Amino acid sequence: MTLRFAAATSDAIDLHIVPQDDAERWLDDLPPATAQWARASGFKGAVGQALTLPATDKFPALAIAGYGTETSRKRGRFPLAAAASKLPAGTYRIASGLPNSALEIEALGWLLSSYRFDRYKAQPPMTALLIAPEGVDAARVEAIAAGEALTRTLINTPASDMGPPDLEDAARKLAQDHGASVHVTTGDELLTANLPMIHAVGRAADRAPRLIDMRWGDSGPTLTLVGKGVCFDTGGLNLKPGSSMGLMKKDMGGAAAVLGLAHMIMAIGVKLQLRVLIPAVENSVSSNAFRPQDILTSRKGLTVEINNTDAEGRLVLADALALADEEKPDQIISMATLTGAARVAVGPDLAPYFSDDADFVAALEASAAHVADPVWRMPFHTPYESMIEPGIADLDNAPKGGFAGCITAALFLRRFVDASNYAHFDIYGWQPTAAPARAKGGVGQGTRALLHALDRILDI
Last residue of a domain, one of 136, 153, 170: 136
CATH number at residue 196: 3.40.630.10
Same domain for 348 and 385, yes or no, is yes
Amino acid (one-letter) located at 189: E
> Domain for residue 1, yes or no?
no
The pLDDT of residue 359 is 97
Range of the domain at 379: 141-457
Same domain for 429 and 363, yes or no, is yes
> Domain for residue 368, yes or no?
yes
Contact, 320 vs 269, CB < 8 A? Answer: no
The pLDDT of residue 418 is 84
The pLDDT of residue 61 is 85
The pLDDT of residue 401 is 84
The pLDDT of residue 201 is 98
Same domain for 171 and 125, yes or no, is no
Same domain for 118 and 252, yes or no, is no
Amino acid (one-letter) located at 167: L
The pLDDT of residue 144 is 98
> Domain for residue 6, yes or no?
no
Going 400 to 403 to 409 to 415, the CA torsion angle's sign is: negative
Last residue of a domain, one of 85, 111, 136: 136
Report the catalytic residues: 240, 314
Largest CA distance in the chain: 85
Task: Give every CB contact of residue 78 below 8 A, 6+ residues apart in sequence.
Answer: 105, 106, 108, 109, 112, 113, 372, 436, 437, 438
Which residues make beta-bridge pairs with 227? 335
10 Å CB burial of residue 44 (0-12, 13-18, 19+) is: middle
Same domain for 129 and 147, yes or no, is no
Q: For 90, left (φ over 0), alpha (ψ -120 to 50), or beta?
A: left
The pLDDT of residue 117 is 98
Same domain for 187 and 128, yes or no, is no
The pLDDT of residue 57 is 67
Walking along the chain (460 residues) 10 residues at a time, the average pLDDT comes out as 92 96 94 90 96 78 94 94 93 95 97 97 95 97 98 98 98 98 98 98 98 98 98 98 96 98 98 99 98 98 98 98 98 98 97 97 98 98 97 96 94 93 98 97 98 96
Same domain for 121 and 193, yes or no, is no
Last residue of a domain, one of 136, 160, 190: 136
Same domain for 393 and 249, yes or no, is yes
> Domain for residue 146, yes or no?
yes
Q: What is the DSSP string of 212-230?
A: EEEEE-SSS-EEEEEE-EE
Same domain for 127 and 157, yes or no, is no
Same domain for 270 and 404, yes or no, is yes
* pLDDT tens column, 362-387: 999 999 999 999 999 999 999 999 99
- Rounded Cα distance between 10 and 204, Å, is 60
Same domain for 19 and 167, yes or no, is no
* pLDDT tens column, 390-449: 999 999 999 998 899 999 999 999 999 987 899 999 999 999 999 999 999 999 999 999
Contact, 187 vs 208, CB < 8 A? Answer: yes
> Domain for residue 8, yes or no?
no
Number of structural domains (the chain) is 2
Same domain for 427 and 294, yes or no, is yes
> Domain for residue 451, yes or no?
yes
